[in-house]
Amino acid sequence: MAVTNDIESLLPHRKPFLFVDEIVSCDENGSVSTRKFTEDDFFFKGHFPEYPVVPGVILVETMAQAGGAALSFQKKFDDGSLFFLGTVDKVKFKNQVRPGDTVRMEITNLRVSKRMIKQAGKAYVGDTLCAEAEWMCLVGSAN
């Protein structure tokens, strides 16, 4: 059972660039979220049409969105805060993610403040590790 699937209330992203379906669990240490990629996702039309694969950068974005959504759910930031990727490190792509796959993102909070987030994440399909990365986001407002 999900903690929430109302992700639009937690992130400023919207379709077609919203990549989190639900937050399964979250606490001070991190979170678990999911996203099912479908053949209707916009990038599959051009990212190897005969053999569609989720682009690696989308997997990194998916993990970062999952981490940010969970922190928003926990009210770690002021209402209306935006997260901007500042760095991405230690990225490894281990397995492909294809249409129909549900990705489970396991996110670890390395450092969280009102102005900065440092997280690490792993993306799995079933028990298979598909991607991992660390990232830092700056937190600000639209004003």
Q: Which residue numbers are catalytic?
A: 47
- Which three-class secondary structure state does DSSP give residue 60? helix
Enumerate long-range contacts of 39-42, CB under 8 Å, 24 or more apart: 39/99, 39/100, 41/16, 41/99, 42/16
Number of helical (H) and strand (E) elements in the chain, helices listed first: 1, 6
> From CA 136, how far away is CA 118, in angstroms rounded?
4
Backbone angles phi, psi at 62, to 5 degrees: -60, -45
